[in-house]
Amino acid sequence: MTNDDYAIRTENLTKRYGRGILALDDVSIKIGHGEIVGYLGPNGAGKTTTIKILTNLLRPTSGHAYINGIDANRRPKETLCHIGALIEVPGVYDYLSPRDTLTYFGKVHGMKSRDIDDRITEVLKLVKLDDWENKRIGSFSTGMQRRFGIAKAIFHTPDILILDEPVLGLDPKGMRDVRHMIKDFQKEGMTVFLSSHLLEEVSLTADSVIFLESGKVVDEDTVENVVARIQSNRISVQFLSPLSPSDLARVQAIEAITDLTPKNGGIEFSFDGSPETSAEILAGIMTTGLKVTAFQPERGTLEDFYVSIMNGEGVR
């Protein structure tokens, strides 16, 4: 793939604030056109710094950031035409209405007045602010201001959308709406780069994820693979009636079972993780005559996975 084949690409991106904090350490990422990529990491990991470099709000100490193959810090006027961005929690021009603000940004993006009018109606409807078109933004709630931020980001129909913690301050319904919106943007061919500290949230939207910790990329994979990687090698079993010590001993005797512990009236044990062994164990338990009501592999939570990645435990 050539440089132009990526919507977003960074090359050994390093950012040091003053002489002290190393916010980004040699970060190289590649995001293809039309992908939704989650950029995950705890607060202070360097997610926003990366985004600010991509949008030319900051310059890197070394390395390069490219948008559609163009250097984002050397030719920002060209790259910013392609980007819609919602960064951190931006301030709003309190005294202006969504119409006033969007009209200005539409004109900066070279849109015609008529198109601006139509687009204002369209995007405000999309973010459910159509009844607030001419109201002062200063009177909006936090969630409404967030939705307005998204409206501003998508207003000029960019091909790359960069969203920094887009669901921050939104209620559950608002979060779901944003997820649906992002999926719709992808259908329209947009590339979405989504920063968040919520793995669960990102996994519901993104195709792949990049994990960032202390300014370094510590892992990256497709969401599908991440979900597969969090399968654990423990199984929990529930029975119709509580097990007696002799019942426990009979189950413990099954060869493939290790590390058996009673749990919530049933049992939990480890095995080698293969589906064949799992089937063998179930058959073994059934031959003991015990009445099984539930038999299920335990899954690690996304949260456990996230924490293990961030702790450098290498779940890879």
Partner 1 sequence: MGAFVEDIVSDLKNVYLMFRFETLKQVKRRRMLMVVIVALLLPLIFYVVPPAFDIDYPDTALSFASLNLGFITLLIIISGAIFAGDAITSEFEKKTGLLLFPSPQRGSTIFVGKYMAAVLATFLVVSLYYLITALEMAQIYGVGSVTEAMGKSYLLALIYSAAVVSIIYFLSAVLKRSITASILGFFLLMMIIPIVTSVISMVDVDPWWSVTHSAGLITDVLGVGTGGVFGPGGGPGEEGFGTGFSPDFYVGTTVMVAYAIGFFIAAIIFATRRRME
Comparing C-alpha atoms, which of 31, 129, 117 is closest to residue 72?
31
- Residues of this chain, 4-23, that bind partner 1 according to CB under 8 A: 17
Among 22, 70, 89, 282, binds partner 1 (CB under 8 A): 89
Q: Residue 144 or 218: which CB sits closer to partner 1?
A: 144
Among 5, 28, 59, 279, binds partner 1 (CB under 8 A): 59
Does 134 participate in binding partner 1 (rule CB under 8 A)?
no
Q: Residues 138-177 vs partner 1: string with x where CB under 8 A?
A: -----------x--x-------------------------
**CB–CB of 53/73 below 8 Å?**
yes
Q: Residue 78 or 224: which CB sits closer to partner 1?
A: 78
Q: Residue 41 or 149: which CB sits closer to partner 1?
A: 149
Distance set, CA 43 to CA 47, 112, 171, 238 (Å): 8, 40, 21, 40
241 CB burial (10 A radius; 0-12, 13-18, 19+): exposed
Please tell me the distance from the alpha carbon of residue 82 to that of residue 226, in angstroms, as a whole number. 30
- # of chain residues touching partner 1 (CB under 8 A): 32
Q: Residue 108 or 279: which CB sits closer to partner 1?
A: 108
DSSP symbols for 120-150: HHHHHHHTT-GGGTTS-GGGS-HHHHHHHHH
Question: Which residues of the shown chain bind partner 1 in the complex (CB under 8 A)?
Answer: 17, 52, 55-59, 76-78, 80-81, 83, 85, 87-93, 95-96, 100-101, 104-105, 107-109, 149, 152
